[in-house]
Amino acid sequence: MTNEATSTVMTEVACPMCGHACDDLSVDTAGASLAVVAKGCERARSSFARLSTVGDSALPRIDGKPVSLDAACAEAARVLGAATLPVFGGMALDVGGARAAMELADQAGGVIDHMNNEFGWRASRVVQDGGGINTTLAEVRNRADLILLVGTDAVSAQPRFFERCVWVGETMFDLAPASRRIVYLGGGLDTAPGVSPDGRQPDVFEFDLMRMPEALSVLNALMAKQPVTGEAPLGIALARWQELVDALFAAKYSVVVWAGPAFDAAQLDLNVGAVVSLVRKLNVTTRCNSLPLAGNDGDLSMGAVHTWQTGYPMRTSYASGAPKFDPVHNGITRLLQTGEADALVWLNSLADHVAPPACGVPTVVIAPPSQKLDGEPHVFIPVATPGIHHSGHFVRTDKVVTLPLRALRATSLPAAETVAMSIAAKLREVRT
């Protein structure tokens, strides 16, 4: 809170609307909707305004008809009690919501998966096989003299990346921020944020993003001093590729930035494997680290809770009474398409932009009143948003910081954590 006792502006507010989790926002709480008045991006401004105004009067529904919260939780428990293999998706939650979702999935004997996990599990598998060296946002800010963005412009995933990590006022180790070299691999990217404060343009290697495996193969081959066919791989002069390789070897601290959802899912394994290989080669003689941009929609918060409670990543089944990790078999899209799953619970408190799949099985949606829906679910329970209506915790993109979220506005809506725990308690009653 600011020093003026009458002020309605809260400062140093953490934002859970992307994985960057900026913690310097100023938010005016006086109006009909929350207004980000300083330090926010357009995503933060629109999300805080939208999610703070919807639904204090929203009621739970069963088949579209308003009911009490207790009745909705009881019906959700009945659906889960009757299911043989329920699946739990969405999972855009803070840490507390994730813990409760885990309890509910365990009680129901279901399968749990995050809506972003088609990219997450593939990337994790590659790093498990070949190892990986990742860095933090603070290291990028203070040390990186060359930043290579692979298939992403960063700002599409985390809008304030350049503002907070690249073109900063000062660094801890006498690196002049404006001197950083910015290189983009891939076409169709927003390269404007890569222009330095003194007007120096970034280097852009323009090509179809579907050809990213070829581009990374060229870089890895040149680093290993292996021959590369042709004078212009992907239509770009071989001399430019070689100059980039030389610059990476000459850099004191280079960082390779990538984002799983920016890659075609079928190519993600190849691309991440090539990035891991590139970083490994560079670390023989200099320093280079990878920075995967994750954490959007609370995927790292959910993933962290799942791992510390079970020892496994998501895509884990509890049907046998013990966690069983199988990222191929336990994808909930596959389970719904094959008819193996017979109920769906869609849990969201941080995101409302992805609709639960239309799947033909009884569906329970626990989400903000503004949740996008392609059809009326069997049970809908509106919930509050952490960082807006109640406090919570959120894991940042580099996984080294868990930021506290503050309550900015009172609401009569329950937290997702409260709803999930209530359903779990009623489910225990159903089964006893």
Q: Which helix (H) or strand (E) holds 79?
A: helix 69-82
* 215-248 residue pLDDT tens: 999 999 999 999 999 999 999 999 999 999 999 9
432 pLDDT higher than 90: no
Closest CA to 402 of 305, 312, 327: 305
**What is 14-60 written as a DSSP string?**
---SSTT----EEEE-SSSS-EEEES--HHHHHHHHHHHHS-TT---
Q: How confident is residue 4, by pLDDT bands cut at 50, 70 and 90?
A: very low
Token couple for 149: 């963005």
162 pLDDT higher than 50: yes
* 362-372 residue pLDDT tens: 999 999 999 99
Q: What percent of the chain has pLDDT over 90?
A: 88
Average pLDDT, the chain: 94
* Structure confidence at residue 120 (pLDDT): 81
3 pLDDT higher than 80: no
1 pLDDT higher than 90: no
Q: Which helix (H) or strand (E) holds 332?
A: helix 332-337
- Ramachandran angles phi, psi of 285, nearest 5°: -125, -15
198 burial type by CB count under 10 A (0-12 exposed, 13-18 middle, 19+ buried)? exposed
Q: How confident is residue 415, by pLDDT bands cut at 50, 70 and 90?
A: very high
Q: What percent of the chain has pLDDT over 70?
A: 99
Residue 147 carries which side chain, given as an amino acid letter?
Answer: I
Q: Is 316 helix (H, G, I), strand (E, B) or coil?
A: strand
* 305-358 residue pLDDT tens: 999 999 988 899 999 999 999 998 999 999 999 999 999 999 999 999 999 998
Q: How confident is residue 280, by pLDDT bands cut at 50, 70 and 90?
A: very high
83 pLDDT higher than 50: yes
Whole-angstrom Cα distance, residue 429 to residue 74?
10
Whole-angstrom Cα distance, residue 93 to residue 384?
11
Whole-angstrom Cα distance, residue 119 to residue 142?
29
**207: Cα separation from own chain's centroid:** 26
Is the pTM above the cut of 0.85?
yes
Instruction: Check if the beta carbon of residue 343 is closer than 8 Å to that of residue 109.
Output: no
* 106-154 residue pLDDT tens: 999 999 999 998 888 888 888 777 778 899 999 999 999 999 999 999 9
6 pLDDT higher than 60: no
Higher per-residue pLDDT: 286 or 265: 286
Beta-ladder partners of 380: 61, 365
* Structure confidence at residue 2 (pLDDT): 45
Whole-angstrom Cα distance, residue 128 to residue 297?
23
What domains are there in the chain, each with its CATH number? 9-50 (no CATH), 56-116+297-430 (3.40.50.740), 120-293 (3.40.228.10)
Please provide the size of the chain in residues: 432
